[in-house]
Amino acid sequence: MSNNTGLVPSNGHRIQGRSSESFIDAREVLSKLELEGDEVFLDAGCGDGHVSFLAREVMDSDAVIYALDNY
């Protein structure tokens, strides 16, 4: 039995379950990481990837961003 809710997050990616976008302020989380912009960033359990997309906005072109999810 699938737990697919049929919801589509604001970035348009279909997700298997509930997106954390509705209850985690990804901008606040990223600001607390104090990223310098050129790090390697891993979004483990990324779901729809909304945190990864925001990380791409705040990091520079030297950054490497991995988004990993089992779906």
Q: What is the mean pLDDT of each run of 10 residues along the chain (71 residues)?
A: 51 66 87 94 90 94 93 71
Short-list 18, 20, 19, 16, CA closest to 1: 16
Give the model's pLDDT for residue 43. 94
The per-residue DSSP string of 1-23 comes to: ---------TT----SS--GGGT
Q: Rounded to whole angstroms, what are the CA distances from 16 to 6, 39, 52?
A: 8, 29, 17
Q: What's the pTM value of the predicted model, to 2 decimals?
A: 0.69
Give the model's pLDDT for residue 59. 95
Give the model's pLDDT for residue 2. 41
Give the model's pLDDT for residue 15. 60
Residues facing residue 43 across a β-bridge: 67
